[in-house]
Structure 1
């Protein structure tokens, strides 16, 4: 923004004209300085607003992750209970007694509650070995099982909201 200068009235001294020019130049310099400061303050304000928005998003994401995995310890502590119920049912065989029915019902309820909280089983029998979800306990000759595939599962693995909670303990087929 510039200040327009009007010609001096007739009969004024040249010194007054110089003083007016100096005054206009000083005002123009102050205006330019103020505009530059205003532009810097605007830029700083926009940067601060963006930083606050990024921080708000980060906090919201952290809260979401905390909610998803808040039950991790409790659900991890329940895994041996599930293992014990499954082992008890396997030992009971096919006897259709009230105790077996009660154990099956209890196991189904426990698995439903676990699934409702994001827990998923990793039972990889017959699948390719995945070191991110499986822990190989041993290797055996494959026979009819393809190389590097799971032959036997000692203990099921578990995922909590797609994050590994416990790896599956497996036996892997190797080439003969």
Structure 2
């Protein structure tokens, strides 16, 4: 039996039945047709996604959404900046009011006393009493300045200092050396190391008629 089967396989004259050939052909065609259908299915799945990406209407809608979001952020930022500006102005106004009140408060009593002194001059001829009242008012002014940290500059008899003094004129003097202050017209004022107002003074030019080289 085995020898007969071997002979059948080796013998080229033995033909395959037609039914078997038809089945094999159908199987081959079926296998070869499966791949194109699978490729078509993949293409069908990918194509709509790509089409959506390239769709102008979809792009416009996406851009409009982005623009709307950015516009909303811009409006919110502008509103926040405006609120901060209003808060800053309100704080500055409150600070200005507090500084003004603290600065003027020490002078209220001084002005009241000065008004009383002016009223008293019409009721008395006592100049000594009036002078005493003026000195008291001056002392109150000095205290008010001191409370604010303001120091008065008295330049009389001192060397002329352009950093603190303002010379309005120069006069010859046989008693006051050249370069020193003969007379002070107005006091100067400073706060710490900061000059608020220079003292206006008259400066000595030395003895009259003396050459400048000898002064």
| TM-score (structure 1 length as normaliser) | 0.48
Higher helix share: 2
Over alpha carbons, which structure has the higher Rg?
2
* Structure with greater strand percent: 1
